[in-house]
Amino acid sequence: MDDNETKSAPSLKRTLTFADYFGNTSITKQRSSSKPDMLSGKTESAAPKPDISTIKPASTAPKPDHPAIKPGTAARRPEEPPTIEPRPETEQTKAEDWEKDEMAKIKERYKKLNSTILAWEEKKKKKARNKLDRTESGLERKRARALLRFKNEMEYIKQAVDGARAQAEASQKKDELKAKEKANIIRKTGEVPRACICC
């Protein structure tokens, strides 16, 4: 009769799933403990049978939502989008304090940046003004030198003109004196003197 029972007993062999490896360790322990020892000759009645209705049949196809995981790899849950739940008032005050601190830091940073920009602007404007002043002072010096040269030239021209005029007046007086002398000779003699060749 023992032989008939062992022949009619169904085999519990099936492929192991992910839940068998990690999730349902109690079921695998029951299965391993409920397996009859064929070598010792004991029947299945010695150990309680696991309830077959509670064991899910193994599915060979992977689920469409989750990728197939190889045995021996760590289990990873799919990432869910973060849910924003209403925070208590203490969390709200923390957020407000953080926001105030952050806004103060931002304002301080941009205040420093604006002061840096203003300092750069003033520096560049001062440099440009100094350059203009140097150019103008250079132009003033050039203008003064040009004016001095002009005055010197005018003085030279005046001296040259005065000398030429004095010489012309002296020559004119000399020629007039000669003409008067000749006129006197003509009056006395009544004859026009001949022009001297040597003259």
Each residue's pLDDT, cut to its tens digit, for the chain (199 residues) gives 444 544 555 555 565 555 565 555 544 455 544 444 444 444 444 455 555 555 555 555 555 555 555 555 555 666 666 666 655 567 778 889 999 999 999 999 999 999 999 999 999 999 999 999 999 999 999 999 999 999 999 999 999 999 999 999 999 999 999 999 999 888 888 777 666 555 4
> Cα torsion at 167, 169, 172, 173 (round to 10°)?
-110
* 82 belongs to a structural domain: no
Say whether both 114 and 174 belong to one domain: yes
Q: So what's the pLDDT on residue 60? A: 55
* 87 belongs to a structural domain: no
* Structural domain count of the chain: 2
* 163 belongs to a structural domain: yes
Distance separating alpha carbons of residues 90 and 128, to the nearest angstrom: 57
* 80 belongs to a structural domain: no
* 106 belongs to a structural domain: yes
* 128 belongs to a structural domain: yes
Instruction: Supply the range of the domain harboring residue 171.
Output: 97-191
Q: How many CB atoms lie within 10 A of CB 23?
A: 12
Say whether both 101 and 41 belong to one domain: no
Q: So what's the pLDDT on residue 90? A: 75
Q: So what's the pLDDT on residue 105? A: 95
Q: So what's the pLDDT on residue 115? A: 96
* 77 belongs to a structural domain: no
Contacts of 58 (CB under 8 A, 6+ apart): 14, 15, 16, 17
